Amino acid sequence: LAQVHRARTHDGQDVAVKVQHAGLLKEAQADIATFRWLAKAAKVLFEGFELEWMVPELERNLEKELDFVREGKNAERTAKNFAHRPGLVVPAIVWQLTTKQVLTMEWTDGSKITDVDGIEKMGFKPALVAEKMAQVFADMIFLDGFVHCDPHPGNLLVRSRKDTRGNVHPEIVLLDHGLYVELKDPLRRDWCLLWKSLVLQDRKELTEVSRKLLGPFGEILPAILSYGSSRLELNREQRHELRSKLKMSTVGDFVRILEDLPRPLLLALRSNGLVRNVVQELGVKENKRLRIQAMTATRGLTYRAHHDQGTEADAPFRTFREPLGIWGGTMHLVDLARVRTRLDLVDFAFFLREATQWLVHFCAGFCAPAVRLLQA
C-alpha cells in the first residue's frame, strides 16, 4: 500500500514517513472487481464454493487501511491500552506531518522478531521474546477487545529496554496499525468463556457458548482452538465423527462455516494464526501459547467494556476490570486455580509425548548396530 522512508524533521527528530502509492485507490477497486468476478466464477464452476460474501469485507478493510489518519488513531489507542503493561512499544504519531495519505511517526530501531541471531546478540532468549509476543496479543483479544490484524514478522521488531534498576528487558515494537478489529462485549466475553470451558473440558458450557457463536456449526470451534494440543486436540476418530456430523466433506463446506462466523472473530482467528506461526518459529511449544491464551481468557471474564456517555454504539470503547467483591473475587481465584491445574496436566501430557518420542528414537539408534551385526 505504501513506501516507508527514514527522514529527519527540521527540529532534528528521526521519523518514519509512510507514503501511500499514487493512484492506489483506483488500482484497488480494479482488484476487488476482479475478485468479485472470480468469486462468481468459482460459484458456477464448483458447487457449494461460495466466496462472494468476502468481497464486502475486503472493500471495508481496504477502505480502513487506506486511511492513514485512522491508522494513527489505532496506534494511539493501542498505546493507551498498553500504557501500564510492560513489553509493547507503539511508535508515537507526529500528527502535524500526517494526512490521509502520509503517516509520520517516530523512528524506532530494532531487530526483526524472527531474527534469532539479532535477538540473541541483545542477550535475550528467542523463546522469552515469543512468549512476550503471545501475551501481548492475548491481552488484545481477551482483555482489550481491540486486535491488530496483521502481526506478520515484517510488522514486529524487538528492542532492549533498561529499567530503573539497570536490568535489561525485551520489548516488542508493533508497526502497521492500518487494520484492527473490535471484539465488543458480549462477543469478547463469550470468546473468553469458550477458552475457559475448553480448558476445563466443561462440555455443557462449551457446547452452549460454541452454538451461541456459530450456531449449528459451533462444535468445530473447540477443534480449531485445540489444534496442536495433545491433551485437548481431537483424535482421528473424533475428527471423522465431527466432519460427518457437520457434513463437511469439501473445502466449500468449510468456507460455508467461515461465512457464518462473526466477522470480528474471523479476523481475530487470522491474527491468532499469524501469532502462532511466529511463536513456533522462535521455538515455543504450543502448550506454552495455550497456557497464555487460557489464563488471559479467564482474566478477561472480569473485564467490562465502557463507552463514554453520549457516544454512539460504534464509538471506540475501553475495557476495565470490574470490581468483583469478596465472593466474586474468591470465585475468580478458584477459576484461575482450576484452569492452571488443568494446564499443568496439558504440560505433563506434552512432556510424556516428547519423552516417548525421544525414547523411541534412542532405542532405534541403539538397536540398529546390533541388528546389523546379527544380520552379518
326, three cell numbers: 469478596
Burial (Cβ within 10 Å: 0-12, 13-18, ≥19) of residue 163: exposed
Backbone angles phi, psi at 181, to 5 degrees: -130, 145
Q: State whether residue 121 is helix, strand or coil.
A: helix
58, three cell numbers: 475486503
CA distance 141 to 78: 12
Adjacent-strand bridge partners of 174: 156
Strands 88-89, 168-174: pairing is parallel
Answer yes or no: are the C-beta atoms of 322 and 304 closer than 8 Å: yes
CA distance 223 to 235: 10
Please say if 150 is a catalytic residue.
yes
CA distance 31 to 244: 37
Answer yes or no: are the C-beta atoms of 323 and 304 closer than 8 Å: no
Catalytic residue among 67, 150, 190, 260: 150
Which ranges constitute the DSSP H helices of the chain? 24-45, 54-65, 68-81, 116-121, 126-138, 187-200, 203-214, 220-225, 236-246, 251-260, 263-281, 286-300, 325-375
Adjacent-strand bridge partners of 182: 146
Kindly list the catalytic residues. Answer: 150
